[in-house]
């Protein structure tokens, strides 16, 4: 495998983000068939730090999507990679759990405002369908006006914040598991020609917090009509020198 210089001697092959499509734009020659070439590439995505890596391109390929390479560390993951993965998996896991809370809360509200559905199996629908059913039910006879008004606002806010779409972006992306490129991912939304290549980890945490707030607000709508499992605060006991310690 040969390593080649950029097309312009002394320059760096740089790919920059096109905000209108989410695609990375740059010029990179495809080697002839039968020859793989490693190019030194730099990515510039918005105001994030530039990322540099070697992009190995098989010869003779008909299309090069620089957004979707197989990502690996030469020699295996580093200690920094493992630390990065722990944080990444933690925040993505929080989004996944929050999504389950949202869907459960949507089902509770749908059951409580429906006249013909009383159990979770009768509302076994995914997030988008649940919100659609709830939006339709807002115009039904007999629904409490106060509940309808609050529910309508919650659905509007969730749609405006794109909670479901962003959840899909986070959970269905190919994430780059290297510490050099935090937030780098490859995501091709369905029914779209665009691509998403960067999602900062702090924004994943913010998304999870919004989803948790959405679930809590939905649950508040059925606080008086749905069972609750309530855990008491940890028991407290006197420790050394009479200091209160949390029970373990």
Residue 134 has pLDDT above 90, yes or no: yes
- pLDDT on residue 10: 43
Other C-beta atoms lying within 10 Å of the C-beta of residue 181: 21
Percent pLDDT > 70 in the chain is 88
Q: How do residues 25-60 score in pLDDT, each as one tens digit?
A: 887 778 888 888 888 889 888 888 899 999 888 988
Least confident of 77-91, 92-106, 188-202, 222-236: 188-202
Question: Is 217 within 8 Å of 106 (Cβ atoms)?
Answer: no
Task: Check: CB of residue 119 under 8 Å from CB of residue 110.
Answer: no
**Mean of pLDDT over the chain:** 87
pLDDT at 8 over 80: no
Give the CA distances from residue 120 to residues 11, 42, 84, in Å, rounded to whole numbers and listed in that order. 60, 50, 38
pTM of the prediction? Answer: 0.84
187 pLDDT tier (thresholds 50, 70, 90): confident
Residues in the chain: 248
b (16+ CB within 10 A) / e for 188-207: beeeeeebbbbbebeebeeb
Q: Report the percentage of the chain scoring pLDDT > 90.
A: 53
pLDDT at 60 (0 to 100): 85
Residue 146 structure tokens: 């106060």
Query: Each residue of 152-168: pLDDT tens digit?
Result: 999 999 999 999 999 99
């Amino acid at each position: 495998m040969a390593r080649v210089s950029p097309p312009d001697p002394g320059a760096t092959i740089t790919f920059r983000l096109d905000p209108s499509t989410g695609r990375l734009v740059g010029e990179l020659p495809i080697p002839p068939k039968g020859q793989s070439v490693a190019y030194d590439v730099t990515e510039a995505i918005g105001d994030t730090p530039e990322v540099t890596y070697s992009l190995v391109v098989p010869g003779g390929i008909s299309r090069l999507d620089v957004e979707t390479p197989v990502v690996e560390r030469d020699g295996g993951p580093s200690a920094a990679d493992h630390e990065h993965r722990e944080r990444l998996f933690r925040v993505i896991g929080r989004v996944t759990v929050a999504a389950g809370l949202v869907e459960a809360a949507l089902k509770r509200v749908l059951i409580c405002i429906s006249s013909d559905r009383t159990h979770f199996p009768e509302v076994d629908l995914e997030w988008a369908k649940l919100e659609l059913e709830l939006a339709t039910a807002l115009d039904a006879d007999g629904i409490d006006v106060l509940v309808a008004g609050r529910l309508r606002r919650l659905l509007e806010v969730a749609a405006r914040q794109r909670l479901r779409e962003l959840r899909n972006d986070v959970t269905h992306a190919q994430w780059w598991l290297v510490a050099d490129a935090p937030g780098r991912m490859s995501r091709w939304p369905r029914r779209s020609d665009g691509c998403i290549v960067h999602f900062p980890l702090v924004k994943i945490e913010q998304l999870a917090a919004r989803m948790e707030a959405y679930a809590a607000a939905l649950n508040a709508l059925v606080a008086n009509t749905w069972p609750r499992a309530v855990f008491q605060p940890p028991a407290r006991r006197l420790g050394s020198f009479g200091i209160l310690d949390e029970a373990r």
